């Protein structure tokens, strides 16, 4: 299926690994001119993708990213707010409401909500000048599945969902669609890196990190597929929502979560 993305300019944040890298690759394969945003470049980005080094914890960074996209490619048609998860230097999961302090909460919202708000604020005027565009915000199933684990992260992503809905209502009539993709647990370095989630859970449960990834985590999170989500599966949903082929889809939330979310 032709996603009609050829020649469109797409900004993807958190594009050096995991979901963001998969999204950048997929959009590039579909012919988009991709601006990949991350603190450092990876050699895994496809040839022709423009990398812009930026730390989105810096409030001034989003405007600089959009300025560079306009300088290089003339505008922005697609914005994928994928940067998120544990803020730099933070390891998740954290268990219990009393565990994160004020600084933890502030860093979590800065990285998972405010960075996306600022990216949207910078990109919207450019999109409107071009007659519209598509914003895809990468949220999380934890936004609608509250619990004692990672409460600050879930709250930040819940706020992201609210912002997405509000934006879709305000800017849909002006040609900008805003949608959300909510992954479940995805097999990225959040889980696999030394000291990552698999090691943390293994330490809590007294088990083996490989067993956590292969069986314990899917069972604990009641994934009906029996495995963690693959980054490419999330990227495929993002690409479809970014595409003009989804022209009547706005204000929607797509769960790509292995059956994690049970609510109707």
Sign, CA dihedral 253-258-261-264, equals positive
- Pairing label, strands 33-38, 78-81: unpaired
What is the structure's pLDDT at 207?
74
Count of domains in the chain?
1
And the tokens for 201?
């859970």
Angle at 233 between CA 230 and CA 234, to 5 degrees: 100
- Whole-model pTM over 0.85: yes
* CB contact at 8 A, 186 and 229: yes
The DSSP annotation for 76-92 comes to -SEEEE---SSPTT--S
Give per-residue pLDDT as tens, 57-84: 999 999 999 999 999 999 999 999 999 9
Give the domain CATH number at 137. 3.40.50.720
Is residue 222 assigned to a domain? Answer: no
Separation CA 212–CA 202 (nearest Å): 6
Is residue 178 assigned to a domain? Answer: yes
Is the backbone peptide bond immediately before 217 cis, with ω within 30 degrees of 0?
no
Is residue 4 assigned to a domain? Answer: no
First to last CA, the chain: 30
Is residue 29 assigned to a domain? Answer: yes
Is residue 93 assigned to a domain? Answer: yes
* CB contact at 8 A, 37 and 56: yes
Give per-residue pLDDT as tens, 191-240: 888 888 888 888 877 778 888 889 888 998 899 999 999 999 999 999 99
Give the residue, 44 or 207, on which the prediction is more confident: 44
Range of the domain at 174: 9-186+229-256
Is residue 1 assigned to a domain? Answer: no
What is the structure's pLDDT at 202?
82
Give per-residue pLDDT as tens, 102-151: 999 999 999 999 999 999 999 999 999 999 999 999 999 999 999 898 99
Is residue 211 assigned to a domain? Answer: no
Is residue 50 assigned to a domain? Answer: yes
Which are the catalytic amino acids? 153
């Amino acid at each position: 299926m032709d996603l009609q993305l050829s020649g469109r300019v797409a900004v993807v944040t958190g594009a050096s690994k995991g979901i963001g890298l998969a999204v950048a690759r997929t959009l590039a394969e579909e012919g988009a001119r991709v601006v990949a945003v991350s603190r450092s470049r990876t050699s895994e980005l496809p040839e022709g993708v423009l990398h812009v080094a930026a730390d989105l914890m810096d409030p001034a960074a989003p405007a600089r990213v959009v300025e560079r996209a306009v300088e290089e490619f003339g505008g922005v048609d697609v914005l994928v707010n994928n940067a998120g998860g544990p803020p730099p230097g933070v390891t998740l999961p954290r268990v219990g409401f009393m565990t994160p302090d004020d600084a933890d909460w502030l860093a979590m919202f800065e990285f998972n909500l405010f960075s996306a708000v600022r990216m949207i604020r910078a990109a919207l005027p450019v999109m409107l000048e071009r007659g519209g565009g598509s914003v895809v915000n990468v949220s999380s199933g934890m936004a609608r599945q509250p619990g004692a684990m990672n409460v600050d992260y879930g709250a930040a992503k819940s706020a992201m969902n609210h912002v997405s809905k509000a934006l879709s209502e305000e800017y849909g009539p002006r040609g900008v669609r805003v949608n959300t993709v909510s992954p479940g647990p995805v097999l990225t370095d959040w889980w696999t890196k030394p000291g990552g989630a698999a090691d943390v859970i293994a330490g809590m449960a007294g088990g083996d990190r490989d067993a956590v990834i292969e069986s314990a985590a899917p069972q604990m999170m009641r994934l009906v597929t029996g495995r963690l989500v693959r980054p490419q599966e999330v990227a495929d949903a993002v690409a479809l929502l970014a595409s003009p082929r989804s022209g009547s889809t706005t204000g929607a939330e797509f769960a790509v979560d292995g059956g994690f979310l049970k609510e109707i």
